[in-house]
Structure 1
């Protein structure tokens, strides 16, 4: 339904958010650039929930620290370059006037047994309630704009959130359809297969890294699919399927499919060495980050920059009314 709606120019949306627990790395920003790509190509409406409340429940950080992370992360989201006419950014705590009523409605549809079976034993009541907040994130586009196909790009470990939300939508007590999930692979860690993390011992490629830092990280830490010696590599070739620099280019940092295929072929043949492939990847990543950093630096006051992306009063009232609060609730 999502692709059909996109092809036909009919209403459709993507929901992709951020849990502000620290600085963002390239793995965090990838879904936002995918959403922007769809927005530019198909006029996709994009909703960006910022789950500052969840990160407070999960992390040993104060609300003030989480808020600081959220504000810095929001600058990176804005630097992606979304169209404010087709983008809404929702901060759970700042937009509690709409998030909480919707989450309250959905919480009544989610049993504690479902929460326990899906997530295990929650550490606190905040985490017990949070699946209802997540359902709010994923269903909000339809509650604001009416029924339409919604796509949620996620990694496999986020799938439980979508399944619980789909269960809520399937009960048909609210005017929403079940959102679809686009399961995506993690961008690889520099040390090899696995999720790129901003908290692991192996360094991540942070959005704030300069060119020299990126080059040092790639050349020093990136796992390769090359051979143990240049002579052996020349004779037998390398394996791009496990080579992190190649995978980064293939996944995100090289636009030309033809060039990606050529690099893979040369690597397999042994004419392209691991060190040379690292240099190519480091340059491409640094170019991307410099452009991102320039757009970020050009932003003004955060609240002023965010204003065009906030839900309007009419949109807030519409969403509340569709879960049974026609007047927007008391007060």
Structure 2
């Protein structure tokens, strides 16, 4: 494992250390996370999936969400935007795991509340536009009882991973509950196609299928473990595509926190709240004085408004123009923030309109075990 400070998620180590684990992502410097330390020098490794696509061999997508709050924020949205694009481009089925069991184990939530949040968060996910005929969303609490194959694969994975291994990977201690120690296998199991026999009919598909997992960088430990276990169980290794660290409004060295509503933009925020948060709380890469800024320019590497635009401004030429203008001092921080406000207000207002149309019955349809269409 190459995750940083993984031995104890509660300890940050030196001030300049990066913290990247499933429970916290925090950059050790204002420049952001050093991804080479996490994923190594080979950043593109999709040969298996691209070969399968070229040869018209079936594969599928898998991603997920840990439902710990009513409202998702922009950082949660990024992997789903990417996943939606991949589903459209490759025309493949998608499974989305709602880890309500994980949030029950780690958070101060009851089983029923964690399960309710899974259904509520599913509405935000559906609002991203996923094709219902190609998308299956499931709650761990519910699916465990619905599909024996899922639990069988969990047990197979658990038998392959020792306590010492999960301690080293996830930083578990002797005081952690056995539920936490056993959970990584639950998140690994959807990467095995036989966990979904109703989707991948064994009469039509005789071999286990590979999958591609778009996910946030903090989920990397789970799937490095999965890639280690899969060949030992005669399953293909999953391929991963990570979204990079999405910083808090206060900058890469600060953590997004549900207790601080000003640390992020939420999908429930009003246009006025979005504007206020960006203009008042977004960390600036600008200089201390106007004169100095005009002379030396701003720092795009640390400026939160620019970093957010890298995620949500689809026009690459415009983005490069903004970078040049801001770096040269031609553009001021306030002007850059105004552009971001316009982009995010449009994005979130459109998302909110789509979400209003999602009903409880729609969620049930997406969460119904059934065959999915795929090439």
- Going from structure 1 to structure 2, the CA distance change for 1:10 and 1:190 (only over 3 Å counts) comes to same
- Going from structure 1 to structure 2, the CA distance change for 1:260 and 1:9 (only over 3 Å counts) comes to farther
Partner of residue 276 from structure 1, selected from 321, 335, 340: 335
Partner of residue 248 from structure 1, selected from 285, 308, 313: 308
Secondary structure of 2:182's counterpart equals helix
Partner of residue 278 from structure 2, selected from 210, 214, 218: 218
1:104-140 Cα distance to aligned partner (Å, 9 max, x none): 2322222223222222226111112112211212224
1:221-242 Cα distance to aligned partner (Å, 9 max, x none): 0011111122221222111121
Whole-Å separation in 2 of the counterparts to 1:131 and 1:197: 23
Structure 2 residue runs of 5 or longer lacking an equivalent are 1-47, 201-206
Whole-Å separation in 1 of the counterparts to 2:253 and 2:220: 17
Whole-Å separation in 2 of the counterparts to 1:57 and 1:140: 26
Deviation at 1:6, TM superposition (A): 3.8
Secondary structure of 2:108's counterpart equals coil
Whole-Å separation in 1 of the counterparts to 2:100 and 2:128: 20
Asked if structure 2 preserves the Cα contact closer than 8 Å seen for 1:88 and 1:310, the reply is yes
Q: Does 1:227 align with 2:287?
A: yes
Deviation at 1:196, TM superposition (A): 5.7
Pairing 1:192-203 to 2, within 5 Å after superposition: 192-194=251-253, 197-199=256-258, 201=260, 202-203=262-263
Q: Does 1:27 align with 2:88?
A: no
The alignment's TM-score, normalised by the length of structure 2, stands at 0.77
Highest relative contact order (Cα 8 Å, sep 6+), 1 or 2? 2
Whole-Å separation in 2 of the counterparts to 1:195 and 1:311: 40
- Specify the alignment match of 1:129 in structure 2: 182
Q: Does 1:258 align with 2:310?
A: no
Asked if structure 2 preserves the Cα contact closer than 8 Å seen for 1:151 and 1:181, the reply is yes
Whole-Å separation in 1 of the counterparts to 2:84 and 2:215: 16
Asked if structure 2 preserves the Cα contact closer than 8 Å seen for 1:155 and 1:185, the reply is yes
Whole-Å separation in 1 of the counterparts to 2:155 and 2:178: 14
- Going from structure 1 to structure 2, the CA distance change for 1:194 and 1:5 (only over 3 Å counts) comes to farther
Secondary structure of 1:272's counterpart equals coil
Q: Does 1:205 align with 2:256?
A: no
Secondary structure of 2:301's counterpart equals helix
Whole-Å separation in 2 of the counterparts to 1:208 and 1:230: 35
Task: Decide which moves more: 95-104 or 194-203.
Answer: 194-203
Alignment RMSD:
2.1
Partner of residue 178 from structure 1, selected from 228, 232, 237: 237
Asked if structure 2 preserves the Cα contact closer than 8 Å seen for 1:79 and 1:296, the reply is yes
Q: Does 1:299 align with 2:346?
A: no
- Going from structure 1 to structure 2, the CA distance change for 1:72 and 1:63 (only over 3 Å counts) comes to same
Secondary structure of 1:17's counterpart equals strand
Asked if structure 2 preserves the Cα contact closer than 8 Å seen for 1:19 and 1:50, the reply is yes
Structure 1 residue runs of 5 or longer lacking an equivalent are 316-331
Whole-Å separation in 1 of the counterparts to 2:50 and 2:255: 29
- Going from structure 1 to structure 2, the CA distance change for 1:141 and 1:216 (only over 3 Å counts) comes to farther
Whole-Å separation in 2 of the counterparts to 1:128 and 1:140: 23
Task: Decide which moves more: 133-142 or 159-168.
Answer: 133-142
Deviation at 1:308, TM superposition (A): 4.2
